[in-house]
Amino acid sequence: MSASRKVGVIVFPGSNCDRDAGNAWACDLGLGESVYLWHADAQLPPDLGAIVVPGGFSYGDALRAGAIARFAPIMSEVSKFAADGGLVLGICNGFQILCEAGLLPGALVRNEAMRFVCRSVNLRVATTNTVFTMHYAPGEVIAVPIAHGEGRYVCDDVTLSTLSQEDRVIFHYCQPDGTVSATANPNGSRANIAGIVGGPNRNILGMMPHPERAVLARLGSTGGAALFAGVRDALVIADAVANPVMRIA
């Protein structure tokens, strides 16, 4: 197996979606190998293709979600990995951690209704100009579950304008027909934002919904499968570029 298809999944005290993410990649979809990285690790394996910062309640969400996890030794390595163009996917608590760590702009705060929300939602694909969404159709609507109490994405006007101008919002909460409306917004996120990208090569994704829980039809949806397939294909392409096959005529 190509080393580039090895994905590292971080485990914090309080993580509860790490196995979901690792199994989605390696077992459910069979896209590569998953390895688990402890929060106190100060070094990454040398052959990782991507990193998942998973959902859960890291450090019990003390202070606020992600506020302590950003200081974990492993996050310094994640920052370096991302700065070098490595693919990083932050899901739910992972999105919160990436924002707290300054790897993505904005913040995730308490849901507008001040209640934990756990249900399936519809997402409209806002752009396919990312590794993570290249296998979706523009405007495609997918069903993906959410489970969060601090999932309301907030940012200032300048940040929102920048995200829009740079085509960095990749998912909006929407109605089943794709209409982006207030009634489709489960947490009060600004502009119905469910996921954004950042990084030097649009290589960092943060999203509140759980694509790792939407890869098998028997679980209710396959809406997240194409996201992981996009990561796999990007890693395969990167590996081919880095290790070209020499042919002798």
For 33-59, the DSSP string reads EEEEEETT--S--TT-SEEEE--B-GG
Pick the CATH number of 3-242 from 3.40.50.2300, 3.40.50.880, 3.40.50.10090, 3.40.50.150: 3.40.50.880
Q: Please state whether the predicted TM-score (pTM) of the whole model is above 0.75.
A: yes
Confidence of residue 245 (pLDDT cuts 50, 70, 90): low
Secondary structure (3-state) at 3: helix
Catalytic residue among 17, 92, 155, 174: 92
155-193: per-residue pLDDT in tens?
999 999 999 999 999 999 999 999 999 999 999 999 999
Q: Is 148 noted as a catalytic residue in this protein?
A: no
Domain ranges in the chain are 3-242
Whole-number pLDDT of residue 244: 65
Give the C-alpha separation, 199 to 231, whole Å. Answer: 15
Give the C-alpha separation, 51 to 8, whole Å. Answer: 5
87-135: per-residue pLDDT in tens?
999 999 999 999 999 999 999 999 999 999 999 999 999 999 999 999 9
Question: Rounded to a whole number, what is the distance in angstroms from the first to the last CA of the chain?
Answer: 27
63-73: per-residue pLDDT in tens?
899 999 999 99
Confidence of residue 1 (pLDDT cuts 50, 70, 90): very low
Contact 169, 191 (CB under 8 A): yes
Whole-number pLDDT of residue 169: 98
CB burial of residue 75 (10 Å; 0-12, 13-18, 19+): buried
Confidence of residue 138 (pLDDT cuts 50, 70, 90): very high
Q: Is 92 noted as a catalytic residue in this protein?
A: yes
Give the C-alpha separation, 105 to 98, whole Å. Answer: 9
Give the C-alpha separation, 202 to 88, whole Å. Answer: 10
Contact 97, 63 (CB under 8 A): no
Q: Is 77 noted as a catalytic residue in this protein?
A: no
Catalytic residue among 77, 100, 150, 212: 212
Task: Count how many Cα atoms sit within 13 Å of the Cα of residue 41 in the half-sphere of its side chain.
Answer: 16
